[in-house]
Amino acid sequence: MNCFRLRGSLVAAAMMAAPVVMAAYLILVSPTAVLAGGTPVGDEFEVSTTGSANQISPGRSVARAGDGSFVVVWAKNFGGNSGYDIVARRYAANGTALGAEFVVNSYGTGIQRSPAVEIADSGSFIVVWADNSFRDGTFLSVFGRVVDAAGVPQGVDFVVPTYTDAAQDDPDIDLAADGSFVVVWQSSAQGQAPYSGIAARRFTANATPIGDEFMVENFTTEDQRTPVVALDGDSNFVVVWASGDYTAGLDGSRGGISARLFSSTGAPLGTEFVVNQTTADYQISPAVDRNDAGTFAIAWQDQVSESAEQSRIFARSFTATGTPITNEIQVHEGFTARQMEPGIAIDNAGRFVVAWSTYDYYGTYMEGVSAACFEANGTDDGPVFTPQNDLSEGAFRTDVAADPQGNFVLVWSRRSPVEPAAVARMYSRGAAATTSTTTSTTTTTTMSTTTTSTTSTTMPSGGGQTCGDPVVDAGAGSPLRAEIITASDALLILNAAVGLQVCAPCICDVTGEGSVTASDALLVLSAAVGLDVTLNCPPCDA
């Protein structure tokens, strides 16, 4: 489905059935605005091929290079016992698998879980994960491994932390342009016992440590948990985490989302700051991504309470210096289910994509994954959509990665009849929105041709009874009542919805809401392509 969104009715089938209409609309509004969303590139495909318990983990499970190639990682049980390995599979930019899946970790005892991955433009990548094998003296630690551009693991697993007196968990990673990287993780009782804190450590491209680990936060009351990290083109980085347990957080409530900026040398650029604006109850499970210019976007789960099985997904973007670009955005409509564990990806134009899991405790008890696209200023760029072909199949734990142009890959775990499977789907995205002082206000369009003029047209307020058929006869200045609803009608209504034309509600308000919106245009478009819809038209004054 396209990521074309102006909040309102979702008419997915109509949009998919009439791509010419959507392409025509881009012509209609250009150069005032180019609305560019994401379009599926092929169908969903299964990443995992062998074994059982293939499970995408919350966090950075997919990474995409500048040329569009990507890698997916997940935890996998090959033998049906308690042991898990970290598995990866590489793909070309067009989605062609570059070989079979392979085990990343060199050590095969215990449970290897919670992997995170980042890929360099050269095609080499680094995977980090949590390991409970006691091999560094503690029951839970963080390890990693370098994999070259041909998909060959290099050396053996390297240990990330130096502190081994308590559990180290929930790692995340991001790479600089030169291949050096930063790893962050949750470190129990390090320097602020009995609470956990956020540790970070820098490495060269060959996994040689650049100094010791260091603690990220200043605020040390209650636990600091589930960190994520993102680097810009100059190797400056931002660390984001859930601050405070369920009693106190930096935001003054039960817990919130904190972030802190660092230079390329690891020097802090100020203290941490609160990301979320809604501070009631608690906010958890952050995700972050940053583009080359330093703009970054953060998504998180907003939990009503520990007992209420309801939660929302919010997102917010920031400049390179940490100044908010947007207010927090609820990325989906409604609040009747549990929305969980978001992933986020940003392109070099500042546009971002948010993906998340849904678990409905109130109705169907069904799992699913969803995503939504946004422009750099936070405006919607398409309806919330699901990449799943079969909505009856359970799906959970999703992540998303984008290339610099905004083309993105979604991954998730799909419930199969026996065990979960790792699944992916690719999307392309058009050019970023642009603005111009030139205005194109009047348009007459058919499915095959488009003509524009610079005169302004106002639709008359009376006379029409065929709501949804508002094509203008410019010479007479009155509705052309052909009694046939076409894509031209939908495009004219959409122009009215975004302010390029004026159309009276009695002609263009087919939802009966009292105003002309994109919902009306999408409903008329569905009628134009033959879907069974009901037009709720208010009467026109005589």
Of 385, 473, 526, 445, the C-alpha closest to 26 is: 445
Looking at every residue in the chain, the average pLDDT score rounds to: 79
Listed ranges 28-42, 90-104, 193-207, 364-378; the one with the highest mean pLDDT: 90-104
Name the percent of the chain lying above pLDDT 90. Answer: 49
What gap in Å lies between CA 442 and CA 472, rounded to an integer? 10
pTM: 0.74
Name the percent of the chain lying above pLDDT 70. Answer: 75
Q: Count Cβ atoms below 10 Å from residue 175 Cβ, excluding itself.
A: 23
- The helix (H) or strand (E) run that includes residue 26 is helix 19-29
> For 425-467, how does the pLDDT look when each residue is reduced to its tens digit (9 = 90+)?
999 998 775 543 333 333 333 323 333 332 233 333 333 344 5
pLDDT confidence of 266, banded at 50, 70, 90? very high
State residue 468's pLDDT score: 52
pLDDT confidence of 482, banded at 50, 70, 90? very low
More confident residue, 519 or 477: 519
The answer on pLDDT for 405 being more than 80 is yes
Q: Where are the beta strands (DSSP E) in 291-441?
A: 296-303, 311-318, 329-330, 338-346, 352-359, 367-374, 395-402, 408-415, 420-429
More confident residue, 259 or 435: 259
- The helix (H) or strand (E) run that includes residue 432 is none
State residue 185's pLDDT score: 96
At what angle are helices 487-497 and 19-29 packed, to 10 degrees? 40
Radius of gyration of the chain (CA): 25
- 435: buried, middle or exposed (CB in 10 Å: 19+, 13-18, 0-12)? exposed
pLDDT confidence of 188, banded at 50, 70, 90? confident
Give the three-state DSSP class for 362: coil
The amino acid present at 453, given as its one-letter code, is S
CA angle 71, 119, 181 (to 5 degrees): 145
More confident residue, 71 or 386: 71
pLDDT confidence of 170, banded at 50, 70, 90? very high
State residue 439's pLDDT score: 32
What gap in Å lies between CA 281 and CA 289, rounded to an integer? 25
The answer on pLDDT for 347 being more than 80 is yes
DSSP category for residue 433: P
State residue 149's pLDDT score: 96
What gap in Å lies between CA 383 and CA 77, rounded to an integer? 36
The answer on pLDDT for 27 being more than 50 is no
DSSP string, 47-94: ---SSEEEEPPSS--EEE-TTS-EEEEEEEESSSSS-BEEEEEEE-TT
The answer on pLDDT for 230 being more than 80 is yes
The answer on pLDDT for 147 being more than 80 is yes
Of 183, 187, 181, 157, the C-alpha closest to 169 is: 187
The answer on pLDDT for 19 being more than 70 is no
CA angle 419, 58, 289 (to 5 degrees): 140
Cβ pair 339, 303 in contact under 8 A:
no
Q: Rounded mean pLDDT of 315-327?
A: 97
Cβ pair 95, 42 in contact under 8 A:
yes
